[in-house]
Amino acid sequence: MQRVCFELKVRQDGVLEYRQRHRAVWPEMAEALRAAGWHNYSLFLKPDGTLIGYVECEDFARAKAEMAATEVNARWQASVAELFEALEGADPDQAMQPIEEVFHLP
């Protein structure tokens, strides 16, 4: 099982909206994440818009690809893309790049 951490940046003026949308994640989106192998998925958002994500999965690249192939993911990504900074043309989920783990205390 891989433990993956990533960082993205929510626009400062989008922080409140981002929080609100994640209080009401669509049930079909949550189910698609589970079906694609996303476990213990958490998002942490600082007031400055720094977003830290953590997920456990068998293969992060495969888990991202399986989600990218779903219709619900396309709708969700389109609905939140405007809230992010510096995506360089990528959807937020495709901009997730793992941060190197340097220590783990099991």
User: Which tens digits make up the pLDDT trace of 4-56?
Assistant: 999 999 999 999 999 999 999 999 999 999 999 999 999 999 999 999 999 99
Identity of the amino acid at 8: L
Interval 49-75 mean pLDDT: 96
**14: in domain:** yes
Mean pLDDT score of the chain: 93
Is there a domain that residue 102 lies in?
no
CATH of the domain at 31: 3.30.70.100
| pLDDT computed for residue 96 by the predictor | 87
* Cα distance between residue 61 and residue 41, in whole Å: 15
Residue 70 above 90 pLDDT? yes
Q: What is the count of structural domains for the chain?
A: 1
User: Does residue 10 fall inside a structural domain?
Assistant: yes
- Would you say residue 12 lies in a domain? yes
- Is 104 a domain residue? no
Q: Name the residue among 11, 1, 4 with its Cα closest to residue 92.
A: 11
Which residue range(s) make up the domain with 21? 2-83
Residue 89 has pLDDT above 80, yes or no: no
Residue 38 belongs to a domain:
yes
Is 22 assigned a catalytic role? yes
Distance, CA of 37 to CA of 39 (rounded, Å): 6
pLDDT of residue 27: 96
- Residue 103 is assigned to a structural domain of this protein: no
Residue 73: inside a domain: yes
Percent of the chain with pLDDT over 90: 86
Which of 19, 22, 34, 39 is catalytic? The answer is 22
**pLDDT at position 42, please?**
97
Q: Which of 11, 37, 43, 7 is nearest to 25 (CA)?
A: 43
